Structure 1
Amino acid sequence: MSRFVNKFYKAFDTLVDTGAQSLENLFSRDVHHVIITGLSRSGKSMFFTTLMSLLSQRSQQTFDNLPLLRSLPKELIQSVELRPIEGEALFPLDRNLQKLQSRQWPESTEQIYGFELVLTTKPLNAISKLLRKSNQIIFRFHDYPGEWLTDLPMLHKEFVAWSDSAWSQQLNPPQKHYASDWHAFVESYDFDRLPNEELVGDYMQQYRNYLIAAKSKGITLLQPGSMLIPSPKFNWEKNGFAPLPSRIASDPEHPWTLLFQKNFEHFKKIWLAPLQESYFSKADKQIVMLDLHQGLSHSRAHLNQLKETLSNLASSFVYGADKWYKPKILFRHEISKVAFVATKIDLIPNSQHENFLHLLQDITSGIRAHLREKEVEFQHFLISAMQTTDPGSCENCLRFTNPDGDYEEWEFESIPDRLKALDPEQNYPAINTMVPKDVLARMNHAQGIDRLIEYLIK
């Protein structure tokens, strides 16, 4: 009974989202609304490209490149199709594959792509053939700039509270190492001058310069990230804002505070609230993608900040256990299953994967406490979208082709299995690889994607 009711709720949500459909589609379409929560450089675009390529090849080739995907055996898949979502740009799969074939990595996402990955399966027996011609398993995805993700917690703040928290973060490591020019500018700034277009523009540009510098050094908690990759729906030149020093922001009647408070509320109303409602509140499953290599290559403070970023994001999504008796409220989805995913594991030796998994679990401990309260299921995964390295001459060694085209070998120290095991000043240089010549073969050796999809389908 519970499975039937749960199936009905999912199907009814599909009708609400896409309009009236036939009764055949109502009970033959299995729709998974998956939100990929990935910060900048976490590998979302490469993951999408590999996933679609592997599933497409799997339906056409005789070999099984996703052997652990038991819920979708190779012989059951009839076709794989990429479909646009009405009103959204389609994910640029062909363009990404062409760039990979020319030995270039896909470009970072700077707009929203909405698409459905549709897997049509063959009927299992004669009875199912009579009832329906095919069964469709649909993954509904959205790809978006990771910089926008970190802005979502701003919805729950007023300008002064956000401004104070931004300053607090900049005064602590690791941000303080990159904010000195910005702080020097603010320290000598004359706030007695009334804000006008030129002065506000200059003030915002100085803050944006800090954001750009901090991002280049691996800082993840940057707000507003939308200032780095602006949306056409929000005019930063006309309605922009930036943190004010507390001596100014604490005066509610100060002209700069009044202006930035007004612009801050406009930002939430025009951009952030619609963004959350349109793309982040309709998921029933979530993949949280993390690039731990970036933090390891800098310092423990960077990884601690990544942990803080994840904890802050917990309030931006609607979580709840998937129970058959639990009615949908106003047809809103609740995320009932979460996958925490560390990407690019081909950049560390197999001997260190267990430590890497424990480190991932440590970094997600804050947000996992929130999920337990909501009775949400979660698991941790290690994946690579492409095997860009080869085993080296020792257990902790890897061989790879660097961006200059030279084939070299690195030997790794042991990866810490938790944050406290990492010395504050210790770091692990990240491998920077060239796109291999044998792209498709290397994608077929992607790791962990079959386990991840199996988890989402079940």
Structure 2
Amino acid sequence: MTQFSDLMFETRVAAESVADFLAGGRLRLGVTGLSRSGKTVFITALVHQLTRALSARGAKGVDSKTLLPVFRPLAESRIVSAHLDPQPDYSVPRFAYEEHLAALAGADRHWPESTRRISELRVSLEYRAKGWSLRKGLNQGPARLDIDIVDYPGEWLLDLPLLGKSYAQWSLETLEAASVSARATIASEWRGLTAQTDVKARYEEETAQALARAFTQYLRLARSDRFALSSLPPGRFLMPGDLEGSPALTFAPLPVAEGEEFPYRSLGREMERRYEAYKSQVVRPFFRDHFARLDRQIVLVDTLAALNSGPEAVRDLETALTGVLTAFRTGRANLFSTIFRPKIDRILFAATKADHLHHTSHDRLEAILRHLTARAIERAEGVGATIDVIALAAVRATREAMVRHEGEKLSAIVGVPTAGEHIGGEIFDGVAEGAIFPGELPADPSDVFLGEALAVSDEEADFRFLKFRPPVAALGADRKPLPLPHIRLDRAMEFLFGDRLS
């Protein structure tokens, strides 16, 4: 991107920010996370809570776990209305909120499809401000905040550090990562093919495609539930979309040296050109058009999946989270930056699926995630951004109970496992409830690197990650679903935009 286009981009964003500020307030909230971290469920639950919270109060069948006591604007009865509005970016697909809500709260309730592309949704809130504000002075009546939720795969976020890496540097790092014990076996076919390749030989498309296919297969295996590895750029290799089969996704790392010269039309030269094209035509436009315009960010993390896969997966998750934060344009917000050039001034790391654990382990889950993000948090706080870490479940699929087992009372979680899930020899049909004894996470977060992540046997460890069906939704007087139970979703809302409703 040229200096002129950089200047034009900054000018356009500044103009949009001024218009948004004068119109009544706008906040762009980025929602991301690595594969299967619960992004779609989080956004659906967040929007449903906001748009149905007023009608949920006092409704039959709604318990206290559904309400939002920590979200102060609602607890203080200052929210006047909340509704969906047309999104401002017409070229971005709309987040399929209604479809995802029907999946969660319909008769055949199930978890919606995961995020595979960027999407956007606007929820508009009218509220009574606590006191005088510049916006209230400019606009009589209730104040308004438009929250533009930008949903994008976390795998794309891991691509942003590539903007500062040469092909040789990326190749070296990728090849070295594939040689460690956690990856060596699944990378063997691709590494063997790479070892047989002459980087200075004449380029042939068949060779490029074979290397790209083997490399992509390695990335897919590494992301699978068995290995649960996180640091796997380039992200579009796993979610190609319309780019599938294009030269921009038909390259792979090769053992090349920094500054090495390649013969004209050689394989090494073509691979380097395609890598650079990937950065300029795929990664940079995402950063320019979407990511660089965010005000707040939540990063969802499936910490339990990494713990279940062992210390190597945990270390890889730590590396990925540190890399994630290097991409954020962070800084302390002030009136000037709010009006002319927003920066991300608040980032929330959230360990999802907290309902898979008893509440007595939630603090330990938070402590583990805080330990994994310590380096990233130190960097972001150094430039003025506020960081928080929580354990949450945007939709709580389980409840807690005391169950007697062999004469002893044990703390259990109870839910309806999805059809086909099993405990030992028992296979669930998707209708009957099952009681799970989740065990305890380590009291010392550093123990997750020592192979002692879960204080249970291997057999018991399989139990904790059963997939539960969503809970049955209560219906309001209008026969539409009321908000589903959650764990700390209100705390996330208060941190991410509660201050903008003061």
Which band: TM-score by shorter chain? Answer: 0.7 to 0.9
Contact 1:346–1:387 (Cα < 8 Å) also in 2? yes
| Structure 1 residue 158: Cα displacement | 0.4
129-138 vs 219-228, greater mean Cα deviation: 129-138
- Given that 1:234 and 1:271 are in contact with CA atoms closer than 8 Å, whether structure 2 keeps it comes out as no
Note the C-alpha offset of 1:13.
Answer: 9.5
Measured after TM superposition, the shift of residue 19 of structure 1 is 7.9
Moved more, 216-225 or 28-37: 28-37
What aligned pairs does 1:127-138 form with structure 2 within 5 A after superposition? 132-138=140-146
* Alignment of 1:140 onto 2:148: yes
Shift of 1:137: 1.8
Match of 2:5 in 1: none
Aligned pairs for 1:153-302 within 5 A: 153-189=161-197, 193-216=201-224, 217-232=227-242, 236-237=246-247, 240-246=250-256, 251-253=260-262, 255-302=266-313
Question: What is residue 431 of structure 1 aligned with on the other side?
Answer: 465
One-letter amino acid of the counterpart of residue 233, structure 2: Q
Q: What's the offset of the Cα at 1:219?
A: 1.1
Tell me what 1:9 maps to: none
Q: Does 1:344 align with 2:348?
A: no
User: Residues 202 and 137 of structure 1: is their aligned pair in 2 closer, same or farther, counting only changes over 3 Å?
Assistant: same
> Could you tell me how far apart the structure 2 residues matched to 1:328 and 1:454 are?
21
What secondary structure does 2:228 align onto?
A: coil
CA RMSD of the aligned region, Å?
3.1
Is the counterpart of residue 82 in structure 1 residue 84 in structure 2? yes
Mapping 1:357-396, distance limit 5 Å: 357-392=366-401, 393=403, 394-396=409-411
Q: Which stretch has the larger CA shift, 376-385 or 184-193?
A: 184-193
1:77–1:122 contact (8 Å) kept in structure 2: yes
Query: Which shifted more, 66-75 or 374-383?
Result: 66-75
Aligned residue pairs, count: 440
SS at match of 1:16: helix
After TM superposition, the score normalised by the length of structure 2 is 0.80
Shift in Å, 1:214: 0.9
SS of residue paired to 1:142:
strand
Partner in structure 1 of residue 35 of structure 2: 40
Distance of 1:399 and 1:445 partners within structure 2: 14
Unpaired runs of at least 5, structure 2: 1-10, 59-65, 404-408, 420-429, 455-460, 475-480
Alpha-carbon contact 1:299-1:424 (below 8 Å) kept: yes
1:82 shift after superposition: 2.1
1:447 aligns with 2:487: yes
Shift of 1:32: 2.0
Report if the CA contact (8 A) 2:364-2:445 is conserved. Answer: no
Q: What amino acid does structure 2 have at the position aligned with 1:34?
A: L
Query: Unaligned stretches of 5+ in structure 1?
Result: 1-11
CA 1:233–1:50 in 2, change beyond 3 Å: closer, same or farther?
A: same
Q: Which stretch shifts more, 290-299 or 56-65?
A: 56-65
Q: Please identify, of 393-402 and 116-125, the stretch whose mean Cα deviation from structure 2 is larger.
A: 116-125
Post-superposition offset of 1:74: 6.9
Q: Is structure 2 residue 434 aligned with structure 1 residue 408? A: yes
Matched, 1:17 2:16: yes
- Aligned match of 1:354: 363
| Alpha-carbon contact 1:310-1:366 (below 8 Å) kept | no
TM-score (ref. length: structure 1): 0.87
Which stretch shifts more, 254-263 or 269-278?
254-263
Q: 2:69 maps to what in 1?
A: 67
Letter matched to residue 345 of structure 2? S
Cα deviation code 1:236-281 (max 9, x no counterpart): 346621111348x884315222111111111111111111111211
Structure 1 residue 92 and structure 2 residue 114: aligned?
Answer: no
Q: Percent identity?
A: 23
Partner residue of 2:62? none
Distance 1:190 1:374, change over 3 A: closer
Deviation at 1:103, TM superposition (A): 2.1
The verdict on how the C-alpha distance between 1:389 and 1:13 changes in structure 2, with shifts beyond 3 A counting, is: farther
Q: Secondary structure at 1:450's aligned position in 2?
A: helix
Distance in 1 of aligned mates of 2:122 and 2:329: 22
Quick one: distance in 2 between partners of 1:35 and 1:399? Answer: 32
Give the distance between the partners of 1:19 and 1:439, measured in 2 at CA: 41
Distance in structure 1 (CA, Å) of the matches to 2:398 and 2:416 = 8
Shift in Å, 1:334: 1.8
What amino acid sits opposite 2:103 in the alignment?
Answer: K
Letter in 1 for 2:37: S
Between the aligned partners of 2:38 and 2:302, the Cα distance in structure 1 is 8
Q: Would you say 1:103 and 2:109 are equivalent positions?
A: yes
SS at match of 1:386: coil
Distance 2:398 2:364 in 1: 19
Contact preservation (8 Å) 1:389, 1:399:
yes
Cα offset, 1:310, TM superposition: 1.3
